[in-house]
């Protein structure tokens, strides 16, 4: 074994893409992350470079101008980006989910309308399920699209927690429609809302009120979105048919879970790197703290968790790429990677002693970022629901 989190069996192209991203992270993200984070400043230069590198089109098919890469390649790039700064992986995460949903469920016209511009990063995606009163319980969505004539809809309601809500220019929003009202999730529909970037009333009836203040995950904007009699057309419905939005979003967040796993792997790797470096530099009682068995064992535990998380994440991505159902694998990966990330980050923080609490040391940022991974794309409790449901399906006793 050499370094942690290696991935055997990659093609030359995959290796090259991941190596390029790693070098970009080491040169341009890690040296700037703390300053941008503390200023809560949007990483515009880094994002511009990511556009040039083609990262916004990584998984968009070549026919639409993207690189047509696999979920595994994407996840390995995200792991590297999050190793540098979790907020950077957040910039492309929602974009990737919306592009994925469009590719899988969009009409031909919708793919032509959005995917080429998404591949270059000109159009940037955000997705919106959550509302002030709900997150896990998606089927309880209250925002409503009422029929208005034969081809129109009027949308009213409040959405919450949109990652990239202001910087995005295309929001995939899940709202309630009147069709198929027999089951709560049959009357949910995804509307594609193309809007200008920015705050305020960006379209008649669409307002992005403000940036939400957060514990961490700074630099990128997380916002509310208010629909106030926003007029949409039937052409804006993802796939053209109302009532299918719940399935679209669940498909999108399933790949999103692999993506969150990859982010957790990246943050945990960075926490480990910082800990093993610090443990060799800091001395107490006449020797480097790495030579105290308690610290050495802590490093061993951290490394084992980093390795296990990486393997679970790669397995879930490969399963999806092979066309197999991966809800349980993605749920397990998301659950394990995010929990291990929180544990590894906490262990690294402890190794840093008092300096772990200083804003001059990177670990303080990781301590604020890691908890989000326990929540986003479904909490650990929701992952355990998905996993146990899948297990009972597979091991059913007749
Ligand atoms: C920084 C940030 C960015 C986000 N970005 C987005 C985004 O881009 N788009 C978007 O749509 N949403 C986004 N979210 C919202 C996120 O997906 C939700 O916060 C998350 O799904 C949890 O929902 P909730 O906060 O409403 O918690 P709740 O659903 O109210 O859950 C509260 C607690 O109850 C537990 N719980 C809930 N139901 C059950 C159950 N049946 N059994 C056991 N325990 C349960 C949960 O695990 C949790 O511990 C973001 C959130 C944050 C903080």
> pLDDT band for position 1 (50/70/90)?
low
Residues 44 and 156 in one domain: no
Question: Of 135, 158, 368, which is best to mutate to test ligand 1, by the most ligand atoms within 8 angstroms of its C-beta?
Answer: 135
Residues 172 and 102 in one domain: no
Residues 94 and 131 in one domain: no
Distance 130 CA to ligand 1 centre (A): 8
| Domain end point (choices 242, 273, 295) | 242
pLDDT digits (tens, 9 = 90+) for 23-54: 999 999 999 999 999 999 999 999 999 999 99
| Domain end point (choices 68, 100, 120) | 120
Residue 7 within any structural domain of the chain: no
Torsion sign, CA atoms 23, 362, 45, 59: positive
Domains held by the chain: number: 3
Residues 139 and 202 in one domain: yes
User: Does the C-beta of 136 come closer than 6 Å to ligand 1?
Assistant: yes
pLDDT score at 183 = 73
Residues 272 and 354 in one domain: yes
pLDDT digits (tens, 9 = 90+) for 287-338: 999 999 999 999 999 999 999 999 999 999 999 999 998 999 999 999 999 9
Residues 22 and 88 in one domain: yes
**Residue 251 pLDDT > 80:** yes
Residues 264 and 389 in one domain: yes
Residue 1 within any structural domain of the chain: no
Residue 2 within any structural domain of the chain: no
pLDDT score at 180 = 62
Average pLDDT, the chain: 96
**Residue 120 pLDDT > 70:** yes
User: Quick one: which H or E segment has residue 163?
Assistant: strand 152-163
Residue 3 within any structural domain of the chain: no
Question: Of 188, 263, 334, 376, which is best to mutate to test ligand 1, by the most ligand atoms within 8 angstroms of its C-beta?
Answer: 376
Residues 21 and 83 in one domain: yes
> pLDDT band for position 147 (50/70/90)?
very high
The domain in which residue 64 lies consists of: 12-120
Q: How large is the average pLDDT for residues 273-282? A: 98
pLDDT above 70 covers a percentage of the chain that reads: 99
Residue 106 within any structural domain of the chain: yes
Q: What CATH number does the domain containing 333 carry?
A: 1.20.140.10
User: Quick one: which H or E segment has residue 86?
Assistant: helix 86-105
Active site (annotated) includes residue 79: no
> pLDDT band for position 186 (50/70/90)?
confident
Give dist(CA 15, CA 95) in Å, integer: 23
Residues 104 and 63 in one domain: yes
> pLDDT band for position 221 (50/70/90)?
very high
Residues 338 and 210 in one domain: no
> pLDDT band for position 181 (50/70/90)?
low
Alpha-carbon Rg for the chain, nearest whole angstrom, is: 21
Distance 387 CA to ligand 1 centre (A): 17
Distance 137 CA to ligand 1 centre (A): 8
Residue 100 within any structural domain of the chain: yes
| Domain end point (choices 120, 143, 175) | 120
Please tell me the chain's helix, strand, coil percentages from 3-state DSSP, rounded to the nearest 5: 55, 15, 25
Find the helix packing angle between 363-373 and 86-105, rounded to 10°: 30
Q: Which of 377, 381, 394, 397 is catalytic?
A: 377
Top pLDDT among 181 and 51 is at 51
Q: What CATH number does the domain containing 208 carry?
A: 2.40.110.10
Q: What CATH number does the domain containing 78 carry?
A: 1.10.540.10
**pTM higher than 0.95 for the full model?**
yes
């Amino acid at each position: 074994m050499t370094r942690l989190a290696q991935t055997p069996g990659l093609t030359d192209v995959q290796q090259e893409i991941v190596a390029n991203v790693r070098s970009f992270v080491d040169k341009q993200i890690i040296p700037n992350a703390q300053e941008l984070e503390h200023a809560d400043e949007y990483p515009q230069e880094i994002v511009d470079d990511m556009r040039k590198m083609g990262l916004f089109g990584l998984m968009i098919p070549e026919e639409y101008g993207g690189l047509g890469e696999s979920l595994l390649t994407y996840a390995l790039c995200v792991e590297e980006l999050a190793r540098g700064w979790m907020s950077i992986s957040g910039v492309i995460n929602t974009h990737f989910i919306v592009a994925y949903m469009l590719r899988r469920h969009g009409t031909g016209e919708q793919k032509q309308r959005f995917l080429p511009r998404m591949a270059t990063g000109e159009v940037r995606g955000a997705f919106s399920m959550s509302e002030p009163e709900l997150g896990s319980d998606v089927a309880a969505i209250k925002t409503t699209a009422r029929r208005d004539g034969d081809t129109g809809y009027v949308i009213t309601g409040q959405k919450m927690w949109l990652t990239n809500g202001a910087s995005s220019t295309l929001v995939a929003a899940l709202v309630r429609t009147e069709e198929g009202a027999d089951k709560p999730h049959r009357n949910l529909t995804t509307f594609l809302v193309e809007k200008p970037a920015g705050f305020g009333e960006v379209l008649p009836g669409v307002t992005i009120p403000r940036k939400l203040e957060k514990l961490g995950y700074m630099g990128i904007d997380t916002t509310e979105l208010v629909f106030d009699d926003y007029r949409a057309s039937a052409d804006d419905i993802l796939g053209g048919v109302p009532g299918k939005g719940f399935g679209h979003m669940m498909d999108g967040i399933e790949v999103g879970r692999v993506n969150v796993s990859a982010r957790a792997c990246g943050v945990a790797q960075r926490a480990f790197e910082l800990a093993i470096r610090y443990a060799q530099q800091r001395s107490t009682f006449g020797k480097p703290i790495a030579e105290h068995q308690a610290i050495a064992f802590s490093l061993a535990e951290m490394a084992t968790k980093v390795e296990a998380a990486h393997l679970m994440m790669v397995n879930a991505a490969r399963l999806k790429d092979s066309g197999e159902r991966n809800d349980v694998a993605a749920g397990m990966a998301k659950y394990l990677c995010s929990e291990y990330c929180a544990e590894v980050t906490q262990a690294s923080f402890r190794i840093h002693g008092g300096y772990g609490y200083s804003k001059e040391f990177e670990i303080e940022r990781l301590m604020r970022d890691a908890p989000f991974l326990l929540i986003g794309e479904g909490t650990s409790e929701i992952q355990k629901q998905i996993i146990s449901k899948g297990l009972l399906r597979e091991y059913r006793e007749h």
